[in-house]
Structure formats: structure tokens, C-alpha cells
Structure 1
């Protein structure tokens, strides 16, 4: 919005040249100015025609404690590394190996990497803050802050304000404080937050390549949750093999149906899978009437040991079953939503292989 005197043609011309969408005449009444400002602040973002919006993948569970946030933290990190490597010829090793920790630290110091916006992990699970702890990436700018300042959320703000992991992954997390008093919110307040959430997601999808939502124990009664699920192209429902989890998940799916969340977007991830338990992943998928996407093996002890050291399981630990399962999920997202990067990465790897072969011959 440009501010100036409407009686001066030079002011109008300068506003047009600067790309301003609105002009506030200083000679207008205070009421007119307030109306113009209110309309600008409530305006929804409309992406340019033909502009592709980043895909959104939501991870949900029927109750807390099913490992949804641990899975989301690993998946977001792995996807970020694959996205960054696919776009960097230097990072696309001929043998397909992952980028090492030293490369990540070097990349974190790169100005180009700091400006790049690849993957964004938004944590709205309850209670919040787990992903920030797992990734050891605290940030002062939270999801609630982003909602309140959504009209200011441009690409530069996304680069600077959002918490940044060493890999380049950006994060918006919840805090316990931001969830306090949730039950005291009126229906009108919930609806207002819902509209703000849809607007914020629309903005962020124009800046990033992929958004991951850790919705944890999802409350399908909240308009904010419905908005996020409707924006998601993939809804991955995490459930384990316990009877209680199956019952609660069936109830959650019924709530989704009542809210007209498309079933064809939903896939089942069986977490903490133990082959010794009689209820198999296939039986669980049949009972929930969801396509089985992945089986995450039972590795709570190994995960706890790693998390207690302040680290996640690195994707280079290729013999670790948990790493293998999550890497397949990340690769599936890359191939399914970013096929052009997979092709470019393969071409770059082939070029590097040919170069190394010529150097070896000489």
C-alpha cells in the first residue's frame, strides 16, 4: 500500500511504478483509511495464474504416544536432504550416497543455502515442541506468531524468521503456552483462527517446495485441523498394533468422514510394528479400510538411545530398519511430487559418473 496525496499525479505514478496494489490518500477521512487498511489486512493471498503450490503432507494419529512426531522429524530431515541433494550437482554423488555431516555444516554456512527454501515442517501436534527438541532446533518464531503476522509473511521473512536446521530444513513449531486456554476459545475465535491458518498455508506454499504437517493426536472437531487436512494432498494416518489404537483410529476416521475429508488422500502407516504380534499390518489396514503405505519397525530402544544423545538416526545408517523405512517414504514423496528433481538428479549423477570415469582413465 502506497500513501500519498491523490491530488499530486507524481505520487500516483510513483505508486504504480513501485508495484503498490492500493493507494491511501492522506486527504481522505479517517474512516476511509481504516476501511482500506482493514480490507488489505483481510485479503487472502491469490497465487499468480499457473504458479504451482507446494504439496502438503500431513501426519496424523488418533492419540498421543504413537510416535507421530518422531516419524515427522525424521521424515522432514530426510526429505530436506533429498531435495537439497537433487538440486545440487555437487551433492549428487555418483554412488547415490547421502551428504555427510561435514557437508551439511559447510552448507549451513553458505549464503545460497540460507536463502533456499526446500522443506518446511509445521508442528501443530498436542502437546507441542517435540519436533524442535528432536531436531535440536529451537526457534523464537512460533506457529502462533506466524498466524498473527501472516500478512507480513513474504519470502524474505520465511528465510529469516523461521527456525532453521543445519540441513536447511525450516520449522514452525508449537509451544505448550500457545495451546493453553484452547478449550476456552469460542466458536467464533476458532473460526477466525481457521481462516488465518488457511491464509498462512497458502502463503507458505508459494515459497517452499514441500510442506510437512505434524498434526499428532489430531482433533477433527477444530476448524483449524480441518483446514490443514483439506489443504493436504497426502494424509498419512499413523497407528500401531494395539487394540486401543485401532479403536481410536477408527473413531478418528469416522470424524474425518463426517467432515468430508477425502478418503482417497489417506494412507496407513503402521508404526512400531512387531512381526511377533498376531495382528499383521495387512489385517490392520483391512480393518481400518485404508491402503497400507508403510510399516515402521519397532525400534523404540534404538530411537531412545539416539534421541537421548540429542540426535536423530542419520540417513547414512542404511542398515538400520527404521532409517530404511523412513528413507523409502521420503523417496516416495520426492518421486511422487517432484519427479523433475528426480530426473535432474539422475542426470547429474550420470554426468558425474562419466566425468569420474574419464578422470580414472587418464
Structure 2
């Protein structure tokens, strides 16, 4: 009857002795644990570098960011398990624009192209390569030269925080605000579809202003994926902005994603084709094609080109908003009025006088 109690008492005694000995050797045990953790990490990085053909990156204190043949390590492994190849892509965010350009800061690459073409993968793989390089690891690329990144900022994906009263778009704006308020010249920023959670013109306006602020104020190296093709025209005015697009092709009426990044801007988003691949009813897809054809009859490129030429840059807007307003006769006359001391008849006469002055 006492055997179970005696066995439990012995177990507790042995455990207490072991715990006491462990506490007495806590410093040595912690040192061994840290050493084993470091060996585990280094061994894992060395093994994957050898198996997946990673290369040693060049890391320095410059603003360079040049990746040749970069790959996404997780996506590449998933494709390899299915016997499919991963398409590598180059990325150059180095702020060298030309001999005659004295602009400092990194390059902003605007990435356009359809959904499913690989824009988000391209953004994330370059961010992962930067992180791997700075922890001392080899990287999934053919060649890599990365200037040290002080902070990595990411605004990718869609999420909400309904418990705190934040919609998807509100969360997007909060995160974008944090980036614009904190990113420096040595930061790396990846932004995916800024402005997509609101009306078209609202979203385009916000994305446009964010792009200008990144270029003029933050001056960070950045990848900016968007479906607002109008933003590609900013390359005419922003010297460190480059346009990249995901290559696609049509084959017998079917869209084929090549997953290749090329210089230039995409001319369309292939949204209707992607919707068909997702399984939308044929009638819906056909109706969407018809509506799209009618909307595209109006050429939007010329108005956008004029808009780019007419709108001042972000920095100019700041200087103009800070300048005091010049003399305005109507404003002067309005400031001279005191509504609290006017009778209704006097107020009406003053209104007619202002209207007459405006017409003249």
C-alpha cells in the first residue's frame, strides 16, 4: 500500500536534487545552450546554402542594393518539391542615376503587372535576401551587393483590426504612416498596393503622394508594387524612380504568367483573365470584358501625362503652402465685416456687394 507513495517521494527527491544542481550550474548551462543554438543556426544556414546553391553577399556601408538572379527561398523549395523551376530575377535599387545627377538616396522601383504574376514574391524575396545578408548568411542569388539597411519596412497584404475599430484600409494607412515617419536614406521599404482599399481616385492620389514623399523626403531604397499604372508616368519627373513590370503573354486567348521582371511598365492588369481563372461564371467574365472594352475607349494616358507635367512636386507644395497669401480684395472686404454687429438687412446688402465685386 505504501509502495506508490514511497516511489513518488523518491522521484521528488531525485528531481529536487537535480534542480538544485542545475541552479548551481546555471551560468555553464546557459553558455552551453547559447553555443548549441549558434551552432544549430550556422549549421542550418550552411546546409541550405550548399544544397540550394546560395552565394556569399558583399555587405558594406554604401547605399547599394544590387541582386543578380535573386530567388525566394521558401517559394523555390515549394516548387522544387513539385519538380517545378523557380524563375530568378534581378533587382537594382542602387541610387546611381547618372554622371550628371547629384541626387543622393536609393532608387524606387515601381512594379506593375497582373495579379498572380509574382509582384509580391519579388518584393518579399528581396527583403528576405537583405535580412539574410545582414545576419551573416549566404543568400539565394547568383550575386548580391547590399549596403547595410538600418531598418526594413514592409506594407504587404490585407488585414483589419475590427476590435479596435480599424478597417482594412485604416490599418493600411496606419502602417504606411509609420513608414513615412520613420524610414531613412539607409532603410529598405517594400510597399504592396498602397491605396487599394478606397475609391480609385482617392487611392491613386494617396499612392501618388506617398511615392513623392519616399523620393523627396525619405530617399530610401524601395519597391512599390501597384495596379495604378498612372504612377509609372512619375518616372518622367523623379530621377531615382525606375519602372519594372512582370512579363506575361497571351497564348490562344489565355494569359500565361512568365514570372519574369523586366524594365518598363505594364500596359494592362489582366484582371478579367485572372477572374476567369478563379472560376467566376462565364456570363460575369464576358460582361466584364464588354464593360472593360467600353471604359478603355477613352485614352487616359494623355491626361495623366499632362497631370504629371502640371502638378508640382511634394516639396514645392510644402513651400507654397507655407507662403503667406497675397492681397485679395474680396478677402479684405470679408475680414472687415462683423456679423455680430450687422442687422439682417445690412448682412444682405454686404452679400450683394461681395457678389458684385466677385462678378466684376
- For normalisation by structure 1, the TM-score amounts to 0.30
Larger Rg: 2
- For normalisation by structure 2, the TM-score amounts to 0.30
Q: Which has the higher contact order (CA 8 A, sep 6+)?
A: 1
